[in-house]
């Protein structure tokens, strides 16, 4: 195994050199046959993660929750949902990962809680000290206090009969937003974070952390500006104060990976979150490259325009090169499967999955691998709305039919199958056994029927599999600082099919060429690239030439990485 978690000084923290693996626990591995993945199931797969070579696991929420949004609606931050196990199971996961030198990053969901959280129950009853824990507003039951829209569709307000007032929820009605103006809320959140740090976590992934501050008075939003109200809650007025306070009180002087999920953040916003004079986050998840194919909303999608996609990536690479750090991802539990979206999940499934992995592992920043991506898992068919599990997709279908945008499910099925978050949440495909080896029971969501072909067991024994390619990519990433820290430069920005770029670090150079198209093409290496000394270190085609010709003839979805030898000795691994 090549070095892991080697970093160690201020300029080279471990999380810059890490590859992070995201686990969506409900769908990862079920140990007790109830059809729901669990912590014991995850612990059993520690060797798999070790073998893949990843350095850290980001674990999506496993806390007490009524599961209106699969755990992103937390009713108890300091306990484990019984379907996942208990704190002893969690400690077991922590220990088996740590024994393998794999760090554990927990999801921190503090923009909102569940409406079943004790704080909300007390707030609803206006108990002493809790009345202002959430955003409450008086008003008539048929007239919401402002025009803000929920990210899951419909108004961002619900009327609570018990208190006789409205409360704000930027997501589902079961996810009321916490009032971060209230210092008692902040103290409770800090205390909870400290509690998890004492349990030995290595960082946090902060759910929609740039939504925690809302414009004073909660004024109406511009109804013509996308999601109504967003200008009053995305990157809101006090967000940096809140994060700095959190940093000073809880996170300072610790060796943590802290990644903020920040929809709607620009490069300039991101610099404030992660820059040297920023709020102390390690990196953010920005959304520009995963909304590039959206129309008015995520349910109106188009083909991914490569030139625009490249421009976005290049902008973020340059924008955070000196001030901050990038996260690099193409998939997660909220996005459709990347191979179906950016690649080709038919004839070129393997090839395009490898190409996309090549992209994420050769950009500057920290790569995140979402479970199943490493075996090229694809979007799934959802033949009927009854097969959908996600609150967002279900809301969409219901509203589309109600508002007459569709007569029936069949009219919007294609959109749902291309877009729904459930695509990412079908069970991890471990083998061709019943239910993909995920569970002995009935899975909470159907398996993708392609599991007989696409599964870990099969991929393991196939030297040409996506899985084995990922292992190589991760090892290469660990081996070469050039890939982690090297300066990025986009080449041939207008080429509609080829994504090519160079990397440069001290005396070392790299050239990465990706044909993101289902047709063969040729690529003239731009004159500014010094081809001398570049050697092929990884490619997804057998016959790629070992050195860089003036013109590269590329097969459909062909990916090649050429690097100069490491000055520490040897090329690649
Ligand atoms: C972002 C999470 O990634 C998503 O899954 C969740 O639904 C929302 N935040 C609300 O917590």
Q: What would the pLDDT profile of 242-281 be if each residue is shown by its tens digit?
A: 999 999 999 998 999 999 999 999 999 999 999 788 999 9
Separation CA 155–CA 173 (nearest Å): 9
Ligand 1 centroid – CA 334 distance (Å):
7
Q: Is the confidence at residue 570, as pLDDT, over 80?
A: no
User: What pLDDT was estimated at residue 6?
Assistant: 59
Separation CA 117–CA 245 (nearest Å): 24
Structure letter (DSSP) for residue 221: P
Instruction: Name the pLDDT band for 67 (thresholds 50, 70, 90).
Output: very high
Instruction: Name the pLDDT band for 573 (thresholds 50, 70, 90).
Output: very low
Q: What is the mean pLDDT of residues 380-407?
A: 96
Separation CA 506–CA 322 (nearest Å): 15
CB 22 within 8 A of CB 377: no
Residue 8 vs residue 243, higher pLDDT: 243
- Reported in sequence order, the residue ranges of 286-413 that DSSP labels E, i.e. its strands, are 327-328, 366-370
Q: Is the CB of 400 under 6 A from ligand 1?
A: no
Q: Which of 115, 165, 207, 390 is catalytic?
A: 207
Structure tokens at 483: 């890939």
Pocket test for ligand 1, best of 68, 110, 169, 207 (most atoms within 8 A of CB): 207
Q: What would the pLDDT profile of 336-377 be if each residue is shown by its tens digit?
A: 999 999 999 999 999 999 999 999 999 999 999 999 999 999
β-pair partners for 327: 366
Clarify whether 207 is annotated catalytic.
Answer: yes
Q: What would the pLDDT profile of 303-330 be if each residue is shown by its tens digit?
A: 889 999 999 999 999 999 998 999 999 9
Share of the chain above pLDDT 70, in %: 98
Supply the residue whose CA is at minimum distance from atom 10 of ligand 1: 72
State how beta strands 327-328 and 366-370 pair. parallel
Structure letter (DSSP) for residue 139: -
User: What pLDDT was estimated at residue 3?
Assistant: 45
Q: Is the confidence at residue 10, as pLDDT, over 90?
A: no
Task: Compute how many other C-beta atoms are within 10 angstroms of the C-beta atom of residue 520.
Answer: 13
State how beta strands 76-80 and 521-524 pair. unpaired
User: What pLDDT was estimated at residue 297?
Assistant: 87
Q: Which of 149, 165, 261, 293 is catalytic?
A: 261
Separation CA 115–CA 136 (nearest Å): 13
Separation CA 424–CA 372 (nearest Å): 9
Alpha helices by DSSP H, listed for 275-367, are: 306-319, 338-341, 349-361
Atom of ligand 1 nearest to the CA of 334: 5
Q: Is the confidence at residue 79, as pLDDT, over 60?
A: yes
Q: What would the pLDDT profile of 142-200 be if each residue is shown by its tens digit?
A: 999 999 999 999 999 999 999 999 999 999 999 999 999 999 999 999 999 999 999 99
Q: What is the mean pLDDT of residues 277-296?
A: 95
Q: What would the pLDDT profile of 531-567 be if each residue is shown by its tens digit?
A: 999 999 999 999 999 999 999 999 999 999 999 999 8
Q: CA 372, 364, 23 angle in degrees (round to 5)? A: 25
CA dihedral sign of residues 252, 477, 369, 52: negative
Place of tokens 């995850």: 42
Ligand 1 centroid – CA 429 distance (Å):
23
Q: What would the pLDDT profile of 495-530 be if each residue is shown by its tens digit?
A: 999 999 999 999 999 999 999 999 999 999 999 999
Separation CA 174–CA 71 (nearest Å): 11
Q: What is the mean pLDDT of residues 60-77?
A: 98
How much is the mean pLDDT over the chain? Answer: 96
Task: Compute how many other C-beta atoms are within 10 angstroms of the C-beta atom of residue 404.
Answer: 7
Q: Which residue in 147, 134, 157, 279 sits closest to 209, CA to CA? A: 279
User: What pLDDT was estimated at residue 33?
Assistant: 98
On the CB side of 130, CA atoms within 13 Å amount to 13
Separation CA 546–CA 566 (nearest Å): 16
Q: What would the pLDDT profile of 477-497 be if each residue is shown by its tens digit?
A: 999 999 999 999 999 999 999
Q: What is the mean pLDDT of residues 424-437?
A: 98
Q: Which residue in 232, 248, 324, 237 sits closest to 284, CA to CA? A: 324
Ligand 1 centroid – CA 170 distance (Å):
10
The whole-model pTM stands at 0.97
Structure tokens at 458: 């099969």
Ligand 1 centroid – CA 430 distance (Å):
26
Separation CA 418–CA 391 (nearest Å): 16
Q: Look at residue 226 and give its three-state secondary structure.
A: coil
Supply the residue whose CA is at minimum distance from atom 6 of ligand 1: 72
Q: Is the CB of 69 under 6 A from ligand 1?
A: yes
Share of the chain above pLDDT 90, in %: 94
């Amino acid at each position: 195994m090549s070095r892991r978690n080697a970093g160690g000084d201020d300029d080279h923290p471990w999380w810059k050199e890490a590859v992070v693996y995201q686990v969506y626990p409900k769908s990862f591995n079920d140990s007790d046959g109830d059809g729901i993945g669990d912590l014991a199931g995850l612990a059993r797969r520690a060797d798999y993660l070790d073998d893949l070579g990843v350095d850290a696991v980001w674990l999506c929420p496993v806390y007490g929750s009524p599961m209106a949004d699969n755990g992103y609606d937390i009713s108890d931050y300091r306990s484990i949902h019984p379907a996942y196990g208990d704190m002893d199971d969690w400690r077991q996961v922590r220990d088996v990962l740590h024994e393998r030198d794999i760090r554990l990053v927990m999801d921190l969901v503090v923009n909102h809680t569940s409406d079943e959280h004790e704080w909300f129950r007390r707030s609803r009853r206006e108990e002493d000290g809790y009345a202002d824990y959430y955003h409450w507003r008086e008003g008539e039951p048929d007239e919401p206090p402002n025009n803000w829209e929920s990210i899951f569709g419909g108004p961002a307000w619900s009327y609570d009969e018990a208190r006789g007032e409205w409360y704000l929820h930027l997501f589902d009605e079961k996810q009321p937003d916490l009032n971060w103006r209230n210092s008692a809320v902040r103290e409770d959140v800090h205390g909870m974070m400290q509690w998890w740090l004492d349990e030995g976590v290595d960082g946090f992934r902060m759910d929609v952390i740039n939504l925690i501050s809302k414009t004073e008075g909660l004024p109406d939003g511009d109804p013509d500006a996308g999601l109504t109200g967003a200008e009053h809650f995305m990157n809101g007025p006090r967000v940096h104060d809140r994060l700095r306070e959190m940093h000073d009180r809880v996170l300072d002087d610790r060796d943590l990976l802290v990644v903020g999920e920040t929809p709607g953040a620009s490069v300039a916003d991101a610099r404030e979150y992660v820059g040297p004079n920023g709020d102390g986050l390690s990196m953010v998840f920005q959304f520009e490259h995963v909304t590039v194919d959206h129309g008015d909303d995520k349910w109106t999608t188009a083909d991914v325009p490569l030139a625009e996609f490249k421009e976005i990536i290049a902008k973020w690479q340059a924008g955070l090169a000196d001030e901050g750090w990038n996260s690099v991802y193409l998939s997660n539990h909220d996005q459709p499967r990347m191979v179906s979206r950016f690649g080709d999940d038919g004839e070129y499934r393997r090839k395009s999955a490898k190409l996309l992995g090549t992209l994420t592992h050769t950009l500057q920043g920290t790569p995140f691998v979402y479970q199943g991506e490493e075996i090229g898992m694809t979007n799934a068919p959802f033949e009927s709305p009854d097969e959908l599990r996600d609150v967002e997709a279900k809301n969409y279908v219901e509203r589309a039919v109600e508002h007459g945008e569709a007569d029936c499910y069949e009219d919007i099925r294609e959109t749902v199958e291309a877009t729904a978050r459930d695509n990412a949440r079908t069970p991890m495909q471990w083998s061709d056994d019943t239910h993909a080896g995920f569970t002995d029971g009935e899975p909470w969501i159907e398996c993708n029927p392609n599991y007989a072909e696409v599964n870990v067991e099969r991929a393991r024994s196939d030297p040409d599999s996506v899985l084995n390619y990922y292992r190589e990519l991760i090892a290469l990433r660990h081996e070469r600082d050039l890939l982690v820290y090297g300066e990025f430069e986009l080449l041939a920005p207008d080429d509609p099919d080829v994504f090519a770029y160079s990397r440069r670090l001290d005396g070392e150079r790299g050239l990465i060429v990706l044909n993101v198209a289902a047709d063969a093409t040729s690529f003239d290496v731009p004159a500014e690239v010094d081809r001398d000394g570049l050697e092929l270190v990884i490619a997804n085609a057998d016959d790629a030439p070992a050195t860089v010709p003036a013109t590269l003839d590329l097969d459909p979805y062909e990916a090649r990485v050429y690097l100069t030898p490491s000055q520490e000795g040897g090329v690649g691994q």
